[in-house]
A and B are shown apart, each in its own frame.
Chain A
Amino acid sequence: MREQLATPHFVDAQPFDPGVSDPGRHEDERFYRASSLALIWWKFRRNRLAVVSAFVLLFFYAMVPFVEVIAPYGQSERNGDFLYAPPQPVHLFHDGEFVGPFVYPYSFTFNKETFTRDYVVDRTAPQRLRFFCQGSPYRFWGLVEMRFRLVCPPEGGTFFLMGTDRLGRDLLSRIIYGARISLVIGLVGIGVSFALGLFFGGVAGYLGGWVDSAIQRLIEILRSLPELPLWLALSAALPANWSPVAVFFGITIILGLLDWPGLARAVRSKLLALREEDFVKAAELMGASRTRIIARHLIPNFMSHLIASATLSIPSMILGETALSFLGLGLRPPVTSWGVLLNEAQNLAAVSLQPWLLWPIVPVVLVVLAFNFVGDGLRDAADPYHE
């Protein structure tokens, strides 16, 4: 016998309940029956910043189909009397009295010493804004002739919330119109790059061997090319006589063509990891066909990760368009995008004398940040099975 320690023999007095069956982790049938989509949503919902950002994005994208209705002026509507007019703030009270949203009209005098226009605000005559009103005419979705707008300038007055540019066009309206191009280009571009990335990454990851090596080398070559000069070269190659719409699609495809390697790599590595999972081997051993394995086992398991990484690369599309247009090589007027608008704020004079021309930066930053936060949230939620 070994020497015994004088340790008391303790037995817990609590009744022992082994349970009917081995216990699961939660006791909630709703959780048990939750599909992975529901689990992802529950996890995403816990990330406040991502949810708020998702609403911001929803707000921006909800505007896209209705820009004509929302903008107070048309896209290229010129107001010859109000070149470089400063922002015209909205007021609610005049002389301590509630009037409702109104603006003070201004008139300009030409300063003969500085050769600039000096705008003088007339604080005596408030002009009330009109809502749900008949404004300048436009063709809604290019089909129906309409005049209905959410906000119109006062009768006989002006409403330049963010000022005007050198041709007297309302900047707010142009930012709203520009959102259409800038936001859509991100989605279309990511669509192109998603398709390419899924195809090349999928082929590389699933087939392996020399196909994989060839695609990997191609990706490395693409990645080693300096991005900006390549964009420049490709956009310069777009014929100058193309219509603005064709240029728009050309630019989108260029952005998509250069962005897919990152996604392809994500797809490939995820596929390689998934292929080693036992459930994929189990399906192979059951005699499942390749198509079935890809469709039932691989794609559902990596799609959420892919959507997360795609979300994270939309901002680079938007920024890419902005950068190209800023340099004058992307979209060209009369097409309006945030980049085109910023192109007009390129000189020092604009920054010092007409700082309101830099307003388009704000939506760019907002949208890019929101996409990043949402993408982060999605990435964290994409695998709901690990805490």
Chain B
Amino acid sequence: MAEDERRFPNSASQASPVLTVRDLVIDFAGGGTPFRALHGVSFDIPAARTLALVGESGSGKSVTAQAILRILPRSAAITGGSLVFADPAGGKRIDIARLDADGKPMRRLRGGRIAMIFQEPMTSLSPLHTVGDQVAEAVTLHRDITAKEARREAEAVFARVGFADPARVFDTYPFELSGGMRQRAMIAMALICRPALLIADEPTTALDVTTQAQILDLMRDLQAETGMAILLITHDLGVVANMADTMAVMYRGRIVESGARDALFRDPRHPYLKALLKAVPRFGMQPGERLTPIREAVAIAPVAAAERPAAARGPILIIDDVSKTYTRRAGLFRKNVGEVRAVSHVSLSLPPGRTLGLVGESGCGKTTLSKIVMRAIPASGGRVLFDDGKGANTGPRDIATLTGDDLMAFRRDVQFVFQDPFSSLNPRMTVYELLTEPLVIHGVGDSDAHYRRAVELVERVGLERRHLRRYPHSFSGGQRQRLGIARALALRPRLLLCDEPVSALDVSVQAQVLNLLKDLQTAMGLSYLFVSHNLAVVDYIADEIAVMCRGYIVEQAPKQVLFSNPHHPYTRALLAAVPSPDLDHPLDFAALRSGSFSDPAQWPMPFRLQPGHVGTMQDLGNGHRVRIGVHTVEEAA
């Protein structure tokens, strides 16, 4: 209650909605077949409140936002309904649907009274202008104001969105800022004209979880302060649970359920929302509990014993003290100016038939590590050992020494599942060609055998035989990811490296792919190295989890241990920052406000690492290990 009083000191002011959308219909003509994107969408956004618009890609969320700002693509048109904007600051009620999209009244609203922040902070700021120029431009466009005043206002709003040194930020270029800082700058740009309505289209999807929590916190604060309404477009039910007052669930261009957040979360009535809530991985799932995909499409055929790889006795993969440093060069003669440690002294091992989850935020070195394991890049120090389990005489072998046939055998045994299902399949090859390419490269079998294998593979990942003649462009993201997995399975590998395999997919499809991976593991005895930034996903799929930060493994434990008893401050911050789609576990924004969880020099004792120091892994029993600074050992002694 106390929090609500802080947010809504004056409850009477929120009576009338800022935006009333009624029976909005949008049609796409142009080019291909005509297509109705919205079939009569209605909702209200009350002042000082947040409406969350939830749905999978293609459901019409973004089209709705574009319609409100009248920035629809040329081929789309509003063919019915109304979008009535009632400015709480006074003035007439305006039906945006009737305005000329490029006319003056619309331009005055756009950016002035209705502002928008976009998903991708990397591309929504112009790289050629300073951040300050771009933010000040927003205000000079809408108000008659001198450059000096604009600068003062911009600096004030920079201070408000949490920049420590607003005057300096004014003169920086976007490339000098991190993703989270850019998103703050975008918010500053949206807020400088004090809009009555802020449209946030997936504002935190491209950000790391700890940064996401800070940005969400900032949006809540600003809303309490300015009383603006927020239309939050997202697919993340965790964000919705923490941000929204009311929500509307969209599916294929219509609103299937809407109402107060609590009512929808506690008593979902439409089958789509019910299914969606069950499809999201969350913490504290029972061991063996399965996600329920919205469309269960995958049936795993039982696998003959012959297809199961011979089990290695020891770990299938041992990463032994691996480091990777990059030399930074600069200047005319490319002098070495310093070293960047992407991976520092990482040691991990993966038992056969198990899943090792590698968690960390962007830039922590997890992808570099997976590339070293693939032998796509060489390590600067340490060894990666792989046990193909084929002969008693071989045992684990250092992959860096493999050549010729041994290297080809290694390439057969270790396969990769990519993050982006769109760029990982060659658009000019049919599914048949894609699936048989590994067989052709490795010269396995004749064309009859190839055909049989391809049929087996598509059916194993829940697609059909007739899909073999199709091209990738005819498949959705989830289907393409299944094809990527099928291709990885073609050579009967023993180890799959999955680099964020579900982070580009809709929540509703994620569950399918995760279940497929789990079932394949059970059926075929595969081992996975699963790299992800999403803790809930890793929690669902992994047996053992290693948390990476700045190239170090900071904590490593079996998953139940790690999630019930995290020791390292970074792990704790990560866990605390994940928004849970559960009203009973709200984010603790206050705890996340302090900021730098990922700077080893600022971790509390005994975890603090001095620059250049590695620290040691301390064993806490039960396979739970945590990195602590070396100096504390000395002090303790």
Contacts and interface: CB of A to CB of B under 8 A. Distances in A.
B336 interface: no
A277 B254 contact: no
Contacts of A283: 426, 437, 441
Given A22-B476, A35-B471, A297 B255 contact: no
A178 to B, nearest CB: 40
B140 to A, nearest CB: 35
Given A2-B262, A288-B441, A12 B255 contact: yes
B258 to A, nearest CB: 5
Categorize the interface residue count of chain B: 35 or more
Classify the interface of chain A: helix, strand, loop or mixed: loop
B159 interface: no
Interface string A15-34: 01011111111100001111
Contact of A279 (B49, B269, B411, B424): B424
Interface in B425-479: 425-430, 437-438, 441-442, 462, 469-471, 473-476, 478-479
Contacts of B272: 16, 18
B256 A8 contact: no
Contact of B474 (A8, A31, A278, A288): A31
B603 interface: no
A227 interface: no
A289 to B, nearest CB: 8
B108 interface: no
Interface stretch (B188-196, B281-289, B321-329, B415-423): B415-423
Given A16-B272, A286-B441, A9 B427 contact: no
Contacts of A10: 255, 257-259
A36 B428 contact: yes
A9 B31 CA distance: 39
Interface in B364-389: 374, 376
Contacts of A233: none
Contacts of B473: 39, 384-385
Interface in B483-517: 487, 508-509, 512
Contacts of A223: none
Given A22-B297, A31-B474, A285-B411, A300 B428 contact: yes
A387 interface: yes
A9 B275 contact: no
Nearest to B512: A22
A46 interface: yes
B479 A24 contact: yes
B417 to A, nearest CB: 10
A24 B476 contact: yes
Nearest to A276: B423
A96 interface: no
A366 to B, nearest CB: 29
Contacts of B339: none
Contacts of A289: 441
B469 A22 contact: no
Given A22-B297, A285-B374, A287-B442, A12 B426 contact: no
A23 B44 CA distance: 30
A350 B11 CA distance: 89
Contact of B441 (A19, A287, A387): A287
A287 B407 contact: yes
Nearest to B294: A18
Dominant secondary structure of chain B at its interface with chain A: mixed
Given A11-B256, A18-B294, A33-B470, A286 B438 contact: yes
Contacts of A20: 295, 297
B4 interface: yes
A165 to B, nearest CB: 50
Nearest to B499: A278
B256 A279 contact: no
A284 B407 CA distance: 13
A4 interface: yes
B465 to A, nearest CB: 14
Contact of B427 (A23, A26, A31, A301): A301
Contacts of B512: 22
Nearest to A23: B476
A352 interface: no
B245 interface: yes
Interface string B248-267: 00010011111110111001
B270 interface: yes
A7 B259 contact: yes
Contact of A278 (B4, B407, B418, B430): B418
B31 A387 contact: yes
Contact of B295 (A21, A35, A284): A21
A21 B293 CA distance: 11
A281 B420 CA distance: 12
Contacts of A296: 426, 429, 437
Contacts of A5: 46, 49, 245-246, 260
Contact of A4 (B262, B416, B427, B508): B262
Contacts of A31: 474
B260 A4 contact: yes
A39 B427 CA distance: 11
A26 B476 CA distance: 10
Nearest to A289: B441
A285 B491 CA distance: 13
A4 B266 CA distance: 13
B124 to A, nearest CB: 20
A22 B478 contact: yes
B163 interface: no
Given A22-B479, A36-B471, A301-B428, A285 B416 contact: yes
A277 B429 CA distance: 15
A168 B61 CA distance: 74
Interface string B110-151: 000000000000000000000000000000000000000000
B173 interface: no
Interface string A61-87: 000000000000000000000000000
A362 interface: no
Q: Which of A16, A36, A281 has the most CB of B within 10 A?
A: A16
Interface in B1-35: 1, 3-4, 8, 11, 31-33
A36 B420 contact: no
A14 B44 CA distance: 21
Contacts of B418: 278, 281-282
A15 to B, nearest CB: 9
Interface of A: 1-5, 7-12, 14, 16, 18-26, 31-36, 39, 46, 277-279, 281-289, 292, 296-297, 300-301, 384-385, 387
25 contacts: A1-B262, A5-B49, A9-B264, A10-B259, A11-B256, A11-B257, A11-B270, A16-B270, A20-B295, A20-B297, A21-B297, A22-B512, A24-B476, A26-B32, A33-B474, A277-B423, A279-B423, A279-B424, A283-B426, A283-B437, A286-B411, A286-B441, A287-B412, A288-B441, A300-B426
Given A278-B419, A278-B424, A282-B424, 10 more contacts: A16-B251, A21-B295, A21-B462, A22-B476, A22-B508, A33-B470, A36-B428, A283-B426, A286-B438, A300-B428
Q: Which 4 A-B pairs have the closest CB atoms?
A: A9-B259, A32-B474, A278-B424, A287-B411
